[in-house]
């Protein structure tokens, strides 16, 4: 019988805890505040999870060729990811009631998504999901021993699986070199710039990911440009010292000090926020406000993403 390691008290099982914060070994999964797998009363059936390592379903804009074989290839966009599995409830009999209450609370119909995290071969990956289905047969084994084989399905509106660690880089606008030092000596040294205004992002996954970009004042018309594709985000706004303009490219929002939308300040040459993504591999970004000081700052946050 599996060892019980988690007390069943309080309203903790729907808490949106940091992804993987409860996981200690391979084969475990964490749904919100509930730990499932080895070392818990909630074992995962040997059949494992469905839909976790699979490519999600997708919509395609391929267009059939009217006068030839085949089709013109179009864009493909993934649908929400469905993750399902069978959980074997195996509590100590004296703890059955508490374990069942914990499952009812954790596997409830909620409007907000929570982190679903799985650890396999030492790798932690997570999706934002909601419970889509919970089937618990109230058979004789469940009634007399508290054991049951229940089917659970999660639905993740964003089908990408993310690294649990959020990466962060920061930069100030470009700062000039210090210039020549007199008297001149050979070889001449022009000094070194304290900041180039450029950062390199490393998305180590297999899917494009959406960053969160924060511009902090004082600066005017903050802008960031991807140096290869020339995609750009640029906003006609003056930021005072301490002001922050947060661009969430996944949500498509632009918020001033987390309180007021400034999406309308996007310039005509600014890329739609949802299209500003970090492709797998290295991405070079340049912070170029129209005016800025050494106190101006751009912070980029992202999680590497996998299909």
Rounded to an integer, the average pLDDT of 118-138 is: 93
What is the structure's pLDDT at 6?
46
Alpha-carbon separation of residue 11 from 101, 103, 132, 189 (angstroms): 10, 12, 21, 64
pLDDT tens-digit map of 75-93: 999 999 999 999 887 766 5
Tokens 């390592």 sit on residue:
53
Q: What is the pLDDT of residues 31-47, one digit of tens each?
A: 999 999 988 888 888 88
**H helices present in the chain, as ranges:** 96-106, 140-145
Q: What is the pTM of this model?
A: 0.85
Choose among 181, 90, 165, 103: nearest CA to 135.
103
In order, the DSSP letters of 1-53 are -PPP-S---SS-TT--PPTTTT--STT-EEETTEEESTTSSEEEEEEEEESSS
Domain coordinates in residue numbering, the chain: 29-163, 167-306
pLDDT score of 8: 46
Handedness of CA 262, 266, 272, 277 (dihedral sign): negative
Report in angstroms the alpha-carbon separations of 154 from 23, 107, 133, 266, 276.
19, 9, 7, 36, 28
Query: What phi, psi does 285 have (nearest 5°)?
Result: -115, 140
Q: Any residues with CB less than 8 A from the CB of 68 and at least 6 apart, and which?
A: none
For domain 29-163, which CATH number applies: 2.40.30.200, 3.40.50.2000, 3.40.50.10800, 3.30.1330.10?
2.40.30.200
The pLDDT score that the predictor gives to residue 191 is: 53
- Contact present, 246 and 273 (Cβ < 8 Å): no
Do the domains 29-163 and 167-306 sit in the same CATH topology, yes or no?
A: no
Q: 173, 286 in Cβ contact below 8 A? A: no
Backbone conformation region of residue 125, classed left if phi is above 0, alpha if psi is from -120 to 50, else beta: beta
Provide mean pLDDT across the span 46-75. Answer: 92
**Dihedral, CA of residue 78, residue 79, residue 80 and residue 85, to nearest 10:** -90
> pLDDT, tens digit, for every residue of 98-121?
777 888 888 888 899 999 999 999
- Arithmetic mean of pLDDT, 202-227: 96
pLDDT cut 70: percent of the chain above it: 87
What whole-number distance in Å separates Cα of residue 253 and Cα of residue 235? Answer: 12
d(CA 101, CA 56): 32
Q: SS3 of 76, please?
A: strand
DSSP 274: G
Domain 167-306 has CATH 3.30.230.10: no
């Amino acid at each position: 019988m599996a060892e019980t390691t988690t007390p069943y008290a309080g309203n903790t099982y729907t808490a949106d805890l940091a992804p993987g914060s409860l996981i200690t070994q391979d084969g475990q999964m964490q749904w919100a505040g509930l730990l499932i797998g080895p070392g818990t009363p909630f074992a995962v059936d040997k059949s494992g999870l469905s839909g976790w390592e699979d490519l999600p379903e997708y919509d395609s804009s391929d267009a059939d060729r009217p006068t030839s074989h085949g089709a013109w290839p179009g864009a493909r966009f993934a649908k929400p990811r469905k993750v399902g599995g069978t959980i074997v409830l195996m509590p100590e009999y004296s703890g059955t009631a508490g374990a069942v209450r914990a499952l009812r609370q954790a596997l409830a119909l909620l409007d907000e998504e929570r982190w679903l995290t799985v650890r396999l071969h030492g790798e932690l990956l997570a999706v934002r999901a909601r419970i889509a289905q919970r089937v618990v047969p109230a058979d004789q084994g469940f009634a007399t021993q508290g054991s049951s084989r229940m089917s659970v399905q999660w639905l993740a509106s964003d089908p990408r699986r993310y690294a649990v660690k959020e990466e962060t880089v920061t930069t100030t606008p470009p700062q000039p070199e210090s210039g020549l030092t007199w008297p001149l000596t050979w070889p001449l040294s022009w000094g070194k710039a304290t900041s180039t205004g450029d950062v390199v992002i490393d998305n180590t996954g297999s899917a494009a990911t959406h960053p969160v970009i924060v511009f902090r004042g004082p600066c005017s018309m903050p802008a960031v440009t991807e140096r290869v594709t020339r995609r750009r985000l640029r906003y006609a706004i003056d930021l005072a010292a301490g002001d922050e303009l947060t661009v969430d490219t996944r949500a498509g929002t632009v918020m001033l000090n987390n309180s007021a939308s400034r999406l309308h300040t996007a310039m005509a040459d600014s890329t739609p926020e949802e299209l500003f993504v970090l492709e797998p591999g290295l991405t070079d970004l340049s912070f170029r406000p129209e005016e800025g000081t050494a106190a101006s700052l751009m912070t980029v946050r992202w999680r590497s993403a996998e299909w």
